[in-house]
Amino acid sequence: MKTHSERPESNLFYQSRQRRPMLDRAEGIYLYDRDGNAYLDGSSGAMVSNIGHSNPNVLAAMKRQMDKATFGYRLHFENEPAELLATKTASYMPDGMDRVFFVSGGSEAVESCIKLARQYALATGQEKRWKVISRTPSYHGATMGALALTGMNSMTDPFEPMLRMMPKIPAPTCYLDRDNLTLEQRGTRYADILEDRIEQEGPESVLAFIVEPIGGASTGALVPPDTYLPRIREICDKYGILLIYDEVMTGAGRTGKFLGGDHWPTARPDIMALSKGFAAGYAPLGAMVAHRRLVEPVLDSGGFVHGYTYAGNPLACAAGLAVLAEVERQDLVSRAEVMGAKLKAELTGLMDRYPFIGDVRGRGMLLAFELVADRETMEPLPKEMNAFTELVEEAYRRKLIIYARRTRGGVIGDHFLVCPPLIIDQDQVGELMEKLTGALDAFAD
């Protein structure tokens, strides 16, 4: 068996030449490399492995389906796992949001939302509507449509001429604001920017607004003020604009409610994208969920012009069904709330010890902390310090995996997502904090 350093040059490539240990197996909240080292999955991969790794019930359900059929093309066969998963998914949704379209990941789910919105507009005589307003910072996916909505220059710049850029408004980064407004007032003020933008674009040309109800990788678990999304809903209604929630990261229990949007029940979306925790890493799976009011006219007027070969794959859907059964059996949504609050308290405690932690935020088990040069002004650490990579590497050395990004509210900053699987127990929280503290001590030196 070759060790990490002895491995030959690879034919495989991703973002960079950086090499990582070879994954051997994974169980619970740990991943093991081929040398037998255990790594604590401090960010559930990329906020994916909500129910932990190698859950025996999910594996058994997948094996049962594997023995029957792994693929049936959706235009040739319906399949029971897809049917059952659609029904199950609809059961978590607000009234009327009961039409489900399966895909293989988050970007595909977002693409599907845009395409449904546009085809709904066409089916209802609103052909002038095509602009989808989104926010900066935001992340909606890597495919060209989803990327066009993404407010993150580091991702979009290389393709700028190829993306027909959609209008962007700032996301509320209230923790950076230095004014005399209350949080509620700021929430409304940020939402009102949408109205200004709609007016500026010409309301008849605006199709939809897309938002992560709680920010993910782009903002580092930024929770909007309680007034924000309800006001956004009012504005969308006023102008007949569709509201799309990107719940790719926040869905399936991560934030302590089944949906991130469930924290604001008066602000319901028209269309939603789900993925990540939905099949929790057991299969490539995502979904677009839409209100039947949108889907029916599209299907009545010639059909939905869209689709992916692997859509509704029976094996992936069997995995999704089994994952949701585990979320319910283990009551992981409540667990995310309870354990998330404990973990957040521990992270907040770090602020006493490390003056360079400027903010700790998030809901449920979607948590993050941000490193700053000055807590008063929230001035970011100098870019040259490379805090974003350094702290991640220190954590890696201690066999803790955390997800980091360097970007926020138009200002460059370093934030770290601490989002372990929702099954994490109290002792494991202790272990996570011990490793993280070790990494922060080394970073501080």
| Contacts to ligand PMP by CB under 6 A | 46, 105-107, 110, 139-142, 212, 216-217, 246, 248-249, 275
- In angstroms, the Cα distances linking 183 to 165, 174, 175, 341 are 31, 7, 9, 21
Residues ≥6 apart with Cβ < 8 Å to 233: 243, 266, 267, 268
Distance of closest approach, residue 110 Cβ to ligand PMP, in angstroms: 5
Residues ≥6 apart with Cβ < 8 Å to 227: 184, 185, 187, 188, 191
Give 249 or 283: the residue with its C-beta nearer to ligand PMP.
249
Residue whose C-alpha is closest to residue 275's, from 63, 46, 62 = 46
Distance of closest approach, residue 38 Cβ to ligand PMP, in angstroms: 25
Q: At what angle do helices 387-397 and 426-444 cross, to 10 degrees?
A: 130
Residue nearest to ligand PMP (CB): 106
Give 107 or 188: the residue with its C-beta nearer to ligand PMP.
107
Radius of gyration of the chain (CA): 22
- Residues 139, 83, 96, CA angle at the centre, nearest 5°? 65
Separation CA 429–CA 275 (nearest Å): 25
Distance of closest approach, residue 275 Cβ to ligand PMP, in angstroms: 5
**C-beta separation of 67 from 441 below 8 A:** no
With tokens 């993050």, the residue in question is 368
Distance of closest approach, residue 246 Cβ to ligand PMP, in angstroms: 5
Q: In what order do the strands lie in the sheet with 400-401?
A: 23-27, 30-33, 38-41, 400-401
Give 40 or 149: the residue with its C-beta nearer to ligand PMP.
149
Separation CA 80–CA 284 (nearest Å): 18
Distance of closest approach, residue 424 Cβ to ligand PMP, in angstroms: 20
Give 50 or 275: the residue with its C-beta nearer to ligand PMP.
275
Distance of closest approach, residue 109 Cβ to ligand PMP, in angstroms: 7
Contacts of 328-331 with CB under 8 Å at 24 or more apart are: 329/57, 330/51, 330/423
Give 106 or 372: the residue with its C-beta nearer to ligand PMP.
106
Distance of closest approach, residue 44 Cβ to ligand PMP, in angstroms: 12
Distance of closest approach, residue 419 Cβ to ligand PMP, in angstroms: 11
Give 245 or 443: the residue with its C-beta nearer to ligand PMP.
245
Separation CA 112–CA 35 (nearest Å): 42
Separation CA 211–CA 224 (nearest Å): 11
Distance of closest approach, residue 248 Cβ to ligand PMP, in angstroms: 4
Give 119 or 138: the residue with its C-beta nearer to ligand PMP.
138
Give 195 or 212: the residue with its C-beta nearer to ligand PMP.
212
Give 108 or 346: the residue with its C-beta nearer to ligand PMP.
108
